[in-house]
Chains A and B, each alone.
Chain A
């Protein structure tokens, strides 16, 4: 890849963000705003004393914990955002190769010197790496504002924090953990990503129905013919990312370099290749 091609790919990623700003930045921003408003609302209630108590207790509980061990506790604050990201990515995957065929803007994109392969790859990378980055960016803003709020509460309620700065440092580690979790989850979920992309490129209407319907139908057929549920189990395990929620950096190599991950990536790539070839059929 030369610098021109790198710039093309970078622009394709930007293009995805232009189109899906609301989905990838807007949605987590709204969630962050809701959380902030909720915290403020609780703090301004007359009986906010329990919040001061909770802060004090957390501060004491964190005392003496090293930053790397503190980070996983803060992870839970990010969990709603990961779930939101998961939902947004499904919406994105189902619409991304479908919408441009529906509004015939595919003819514009196809009239540009960008191959189907590069286009589809840009969409995969958007899901696996760029969308998580947007989420982490929003979380970073939320953590900054939360840190400021907690400092203000400290002054207002006369709390003397002992773990404040370590918690701030830990929150940065948490953001890294969340990002890596999301990237690794998306590798684990690559077969599902490929499946959605395939039907997004195939369906003439309601890609969601096609994608789910086909999986259910084939699973049912497998059960009837072979009396096995390999596909059902596969789909179940490949739509679930909880084993890829990371709490320690050391876990990464073992979780990436193993047989299950590799076969998932291989089969996901097969489906993504199918989606790429499917782009030839526009009508």
Chain B
């Protein structure tokens, strides 16, 4: 597999605020990567750096190009859907199709028309007349008709209702991902995309907290519902996260042998959001170590 995104010590300041703090990143072709982090962690900044939409320090190569110097060339291979509606309000659907079709060398008009018809979006309507969900659908329809190598989605389903959100990801998976195309999704609604992902990246305060393949994540993190009486033993193994609810103690362990853990209680596969919360708490602990 070849690498499509490679970043070395990306740094970006907004005044005194460090949005990116020496971020290292590498994403392989064909991966569906989830970029997950709390608000203000640097997700959007990372994506904007990848797209050449903001300046930064450090080395970055996306699809073999430096986004800072060749943004418009890069965009032949990369598409972007953002959290807020970035389609201009005055644009008509037909104009949007015509525009994207004219500037993109690999745009499939028939496919775009077909998708728009299927989504029941009238070509004569203006973006401002469409609901937020429909605008996202329109943007997705435009992007899907382009044969690109990398698709970058920044909170694509923010503000959409659950039906739209499910449909959006289903469409993405069925129409777009073919094993060769790469997707980067940033979100904080982890549960929704958990099943899609092949790579998981946690980001906090401009740094990578976790970067692993999904298969490794399953290996690395094990949840245990601790048997009564085994708590002390469990504590010794340094759980990364402890949750107590309804009298059940769930401990989350990182890099602990399964056979040892099995003796403490019932094992389960933790959800990505559990791991996320655990990692974020761990960060906080590491930050404020009082010694």
Contacts and interface: CB of A to CB of B under 8 A. Distances in A.
**Chains A and B are bound partners:** yes
Interface of A: 4, 7-8, 10-12, 14-15, 18-19, 100, 103-108, 110-116, 118, 280-283
B219 interface: no
Given A11-B98, A105-B86, A283 B54 contact: yes
A115 to B, nearest CB: 4
Interface stretch (B73-81, B155-163, B167-175, B206-214): B73-81
Interface stretch (B100-108, B231-239, B273-281): B100-108
14 contacts: A11-B98, A12-B103, A15-B99, A18-B91, A103-B88, A104-B84, A108-B88, A110-B53, A111-B75, A112-B72, A113-B75, A113-B76, A282-B54, A283-B54
A282 B100 CA distance: 22
Given A8-B102, A100-B88, A114-B103, A107 B54 contact: no
Given A110-B53, A280-B55, A283-B54, A19 B100 contact: no
Given A11-B98, A11-B99, A15-B99, A113 B104 contact: yes
B113 interface: no
A105 B88 contact: yes
Contact of A103 (B78, B89, B102): B89
A116 B98 CA distance: 20
Interface in B19-67: 51-55
Nearest to A104: B86
A281 B53 CA distance: 8
B86 A108 contact: yes
Contacts of B91: 18-19
Interface residues of B, number: 32
Q: Which residue among B75, B86, B98, B105 has the maximum number of chain A CB atoms within 10 Å of its CB?
A: B86
Contact of B72 (A14, A100, A115, A281): A115
4 tightest CB-CB pairs across the interface, nearest first? Answer: A11-B102, A105-B88, A115-B72, A111-B80
Contacts of A8: 102-103
B75 A19 contact: no
Interface of B: 14, 51-55, 71-76, 78-80, 82, 84, 86-92, 95, 98-100, 102-105
A118 B71 CA distance: 13
Given A7-B102, A113-B103, 10 more contacts: A8-B103, A104-B82, A104-B84, A105-B86, A107-B82, A110-B71, A111-B51, A112-B104, A113-B73, A113-B105
Contacts of A111: 51, 53, 75, 78-80, 86
Nearest to B88: A105
A107 B76 CA distance: 15
Contacts of B51: 110-111
**Main secondary structure on chain A at its contact with chain B?**
helix
Contacts of B87: 105, 108
B188 to A, nearest CB: 20
A108 B127 CA distance: 13
Q: Which residue among A10, A18, A100, A283 has the maximum number of chain B CB atoms within 10 Å of its CB?
A: A18
A112 B100 contact: yes
B86 A112 contact: no
A8 B100 CA distance: 10
B59 to A, nearest CB: 19
Contacts of B75: 110-114
Contacts of B84: 104
Nearest to A10: B102
Contact of A107 (B55, B73, B80): B80
A110 B67 CA distance: 12
Contact of B95 (A4, A7, A18): A18
B53 A19 contact: no
A155 B41 CA distance: 79
A10 B82 CA distance: 27
B86 A19 contact: no
Nearest to A106: B86
A281 to B, nearest CB: 8
A113 B91 CA distance: 18
B105 A4 contact: yes
A283 B84 CA distance: 14
Contacts of A7: 102
Contact of A18 (B52, B74, B92): B92
B137 to A, nearest CB: 15
A239 B223 CA distance: 73
Contacts of B82: 104, 107-108
B70 to A, nearest CB: 9
A112 B71 CA distance: 9
Contacts of A11: 98-99, 102-103
Contacts of A10: 102
A12 B99 CA distance: 8
Nearest to B139: A108
Nearest to B80: A111
Contacts of B72: 112-116, 118
A117 to B, nearest CB: 9
A11 B105 CA distance: 13
B78 to A, nearest CB: 8
